[in-house]
């Protein structure tokens, strides 16, 4: 049986009900247990209107094959990872930052280790398509409630050191997504002045899309930060595993800039530690980490790859240009709240504004990510390598990267959308613009 194209590189995701429905969710539950042979699965779900129905069908499939469901109820994805760190398997029902008509599943094996297309999602697709499920169990599994929220909130709060006479004022926009379930408890319990924005759970996302990478979704946050005189603002995505920041003037800060700041804050307390940065990130990150006595390791784009590489290197922290921040202390998984807390720690400790802290990490001229819809992606990459490869160090870790003495670029195919994505960086805006025009000319031929 041919299935809809919803089995992706990092998760299962599609529109409901035309691509993903309850019958398929039931089969995915059976395929998951058939593949992992697990007897217990932690399951959480976001605030989308279809998530309860998806949970019921998925849980029935898991139970029919004899495995128990540990139901943490409505949650965000970091809370699911926290609950799953010592369990044999886990599934988060979410479509992350996608519009409300989408839903899907993020999957983990033991200890919150992600399952990607290469490590199980495609196998589950084959099982579901062929009907090669394990037979129904003689004794069905059960659904058991697992109340983990208080413990999760307290664990996030442990990282905070800010407070005192001058309270930091922070505007937090959870976009009516799953962060609305956890951020109020986390930050109302800390010594700061939190200004909530769109913090009522509503899976229809009535105010704006829950995608903080798009500038149009930051308009309300920026206005609120300036209007209330806040020290900073944070925009959380639909399942709260990503966070983007704005400073007191309402300027957006790239996630790799925030990641550099966080890395240096962690490095001060962990001399010699190892940090990962994705290959699209500013080279200020490795330069500053290594100048501070740490070790910086470049990694591929994508949470499954990053989490595996973190474990390989026992890295203490990793950041991704898309707003994911990973912590060893959070079981090698994302915590947007921990990233925000560490930024606020540093602002309190140094007395500096976020703009002042960010300035050193912005000393190079980064292009930001530029997307191109291209039919012949391989042909474009080949032409770029023929043009630029001889003059620099070439890497195929993820797409094509070429590093020169004083500038670099990466062009890679998106794993989730039909685009080629370009990132480049040079010492000055003029040099970045010059190199960008050279590369864009070649891409647009394809």
**Does residue 116 have an active-site annotation?**
no
Distance CA 272, CA 358 (A): 22
Dihedral angle, C-alpha 191, 193, 196, 199, nearest 10 ° = 10
If one counts every other C-beta atom within 10 angstroms of the C-beta of residue 293, the result is 11
Catalytic hit among 51, 75, 96, 322 = 96
Q: Which residues of 231-268 are buried (b: 16+ CB within 10 A; e: fewer)?
A: bbbbbbbbbbbbbbbbbbebebbbbbbbbbbbbbbbbe
- In three-state secondary structure terms, 369 is coil
CB 311 within 8 A of CB 433: no
CA nearest to 232, candidates 217, 250, 215: 250
Residue with tokens 């930024």: 343
Distance CA 244, CA 46 (A): 20
**Kind plus residue range of the DSSP H or E element containing 349:** helix 336-350
Helix axes 122-130, 22-36, angle to 10 degrees: 120
State how beta strands 274-278 and 393-395 pair: unpaired
CA atoms within 13 A on the CB side of 178: 33
Active-site annotation, residues:
96
């Amino acid at each position: 049986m041919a299935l809809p194209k919803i089995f992706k590189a990092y998760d299962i995701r599609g529109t409901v009900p035309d691509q993903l429905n309850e019958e398929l969710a039931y089969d995915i539950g059976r395929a998951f247990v058939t593949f992992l042979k697990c007897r217990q699965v932690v399951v959480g779900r976001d605030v989308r209107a279809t998530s309860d129905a998806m949970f019921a069908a998925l849980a029935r499939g898991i139970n029919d094959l004899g495995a128990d469901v540990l139901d943490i109820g409505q949650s965000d994805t970091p809370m699911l990872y926290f609950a799953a760190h010592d369990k044999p398997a886990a599934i988060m029902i979410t479509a992350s930052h996608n519009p409300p008509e989408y839903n899907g599943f993020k999957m983990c094996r033991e200890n919150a280790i992600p399952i990607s297309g290469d490590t199980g999602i495609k196998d589950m697709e084959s099982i579901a398509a062929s009907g090669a499920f394990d037979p129904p169990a003689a004794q069905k599994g059960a659904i058991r409630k697992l109340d983990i929220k208080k413990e999760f909130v307290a664990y996030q709060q442990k990282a905070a050191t800010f407070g005192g006479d001058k309270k930091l004022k922070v505007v937090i926009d959870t976009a009516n997504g799953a962060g609305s379930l956890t951020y109020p408890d986390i930050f109302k319990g800390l010594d700061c002045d939190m200004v909530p924005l769109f913090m009522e759970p509503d899976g229809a996302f009535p105010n704006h899309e829950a995608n903080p990478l798009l500038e149009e979704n930051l308009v309300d946050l920026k206005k609120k930060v300036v209007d209330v005189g806040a020290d900073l603002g944070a925009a959380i995505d639909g399942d709260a595993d990503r966070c983007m920041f704005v400073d007191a003037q309402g300027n957006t800060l790239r996630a790799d800039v925030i990641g550099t700041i966080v890395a240096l804050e962690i490095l001060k307390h962990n001399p010699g530690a190892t940090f990962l940065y994705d290959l699209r990130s500013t080279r200020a990150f490795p330069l500053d980490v290594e100048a501070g006595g740490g070790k910086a390791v470049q990694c591929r784009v994508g949470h499954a790859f990053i989490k595996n590489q973190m474990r390989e290197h026992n890295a203490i922290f990793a950041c991704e240009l898309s707003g994911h921040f990973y912590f060893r202390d959070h079981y090698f998984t994302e915590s947007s709240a921990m990233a925000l807390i560490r930024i606020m720690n540093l602002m309190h400790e140094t007395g500096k504004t976020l703009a002042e802290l960010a300035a050193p990490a912005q000393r190079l001229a980064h292009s930001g990510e530029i997307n191109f819809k291209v039919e012949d992606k391989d042909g474009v990459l080949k032409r770029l390598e023929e043009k630029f490869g001889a003059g620099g160090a070439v890497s195929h870790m993820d797409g094509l990267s070429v590093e020169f003495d004083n500038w670099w670029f990466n062009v890679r195919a998106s794993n989730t959308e039909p685009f080629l994505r370009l990132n480049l960086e040079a010492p000055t805006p003029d040099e970045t613009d010059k190199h960008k025009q050279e590369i864009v000319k070649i891409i647009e031929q394809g």
